[in-house]
Amino acid sequence: MEHPTKNANESNGAGDVGIMDRLRVATAKQHDDAENHEFQQAFFAGRLTRDQYVRYLEELHRVYSCLENQIRSASAQRPELTQVVIEENFREGDLVDDLEFFGAKPGSHAPTPSTETFVSHVEVLARTNPIALLGMHYVLEGSNNGSKFISRNIRRAYDLTDRGVRTLDPYGGDQRQKWLDYKLRMGELDLSPDESDAIVEAAKYMFTALGRVSSDLMPEKLQNVGT
C-alpha cells in the first residue's frame, strides 16, 4: 500500500518534525556563519573584483557539477533524489554559460584544497548513503532565495543584464514558487529517522564546506593555489 502524500511541514514519523523544518532549524548556525564570512560579505555587496567573481564561479562550477552528477548517478539506486531535484534545479549549465560570458571556462585554474576535499566527500557519500545528497542540494537550492537579491548588486558591479549572473537568479520572478515546489517535493518523502538525520548532517557539512572554499578564495590564500 502506498504512503499518503504528506504536506511539506508534516512529520516523517511519530514525534518527528518535518524534514524541511528540521533542516531550517538545525542549520541556522551554519547558515549564519556562512553569511558572515568575509569573502561572502564582499560577494554579497558586489565588492569582489571581476576576476575574483569569475574565480568564485569556477569553484561553484566544481561544487555544483560534482553534486549534480552524483545525484543523477545515484538516482538509479535512490530514485527519490531526482523526484526532489528535478531538471530545472540543475545549475551546471548556467554556470558554464556565466563563465563563457566572461571568457572563462571550467577548469581554468586548479581547484582549491577545500574544493578537492568537498568533491572527495561527495563521491564517498554517493556510494555509502546517497539519500544524504539531498541535504547538500537543499543548501544550494535554498541559496537562490538570497542570491536573487544579491544578483542586483552583481549586475551593478559588473554592468550585467542576464548573462554572467544566471546562476544567481535562475528563476527570475518565479523564485518564490519554485522554492515552495521544491519544499513540497522534499516534504513528501517518506524518510526513516536515520535518513532524516543523514540529510541534516549533510546540509550542515555543505554550509561548512562552502565556507572553507570561500576561505581558500581569499587573496592571500590564492597565492598558494596553482593554475
pLDDT (mean) for 143-161? 94
Question: Is residue 84 in some structural domain?
Answer: yes
Question: Is residue 5 in some structural domain?
Answer: no
Question: Is residue 1 in some structural domain?
Answer: no
Helix, coil or strand: residue 1? coil
Give the separation between CA 167 and CA 63, rounded to whole angstroms.
Answer: 13
Question: Is residue 23 in some structural domain?
Answer: no
Domain at 181, CATH number: 1.20.910.10
Give the separation between CA 101 and CA 40, rounded to whole angstroms.
Answer: 22
Question: Is residue 29 in some structural domain?
Answer: no
User: What integer pLDDT is reported at residue 221 of this predicted model?
Assistant: 54
Question: Is residue 17 in some structural domain?
Answer: no
Helix, coil or strand: residue 119? helix
Question: Is residue 145 in some structural domain?
Answer: yes
pLDDT tens by residue, 75-119: 999 999 999 999 999 999 999 999 999 999 999 999 999 999 999
- Rounding to the nearest 10 degrees, give the CA dihedral for residues 194, 81, 107, 34: -50
pTM over 0.95: no
For the chain, what is the domain count? Answer: 1
Question: Is residue 22 in some structural domain?
Answer: no
pLDDT tens by residue, 175-192: 999 999 999 999 999 999
Domain of 186 in residue numbering reads as 36-218
Task: Give me the sign of the Cα torsion angle 155, 158, 163, 167.
Answer: negative
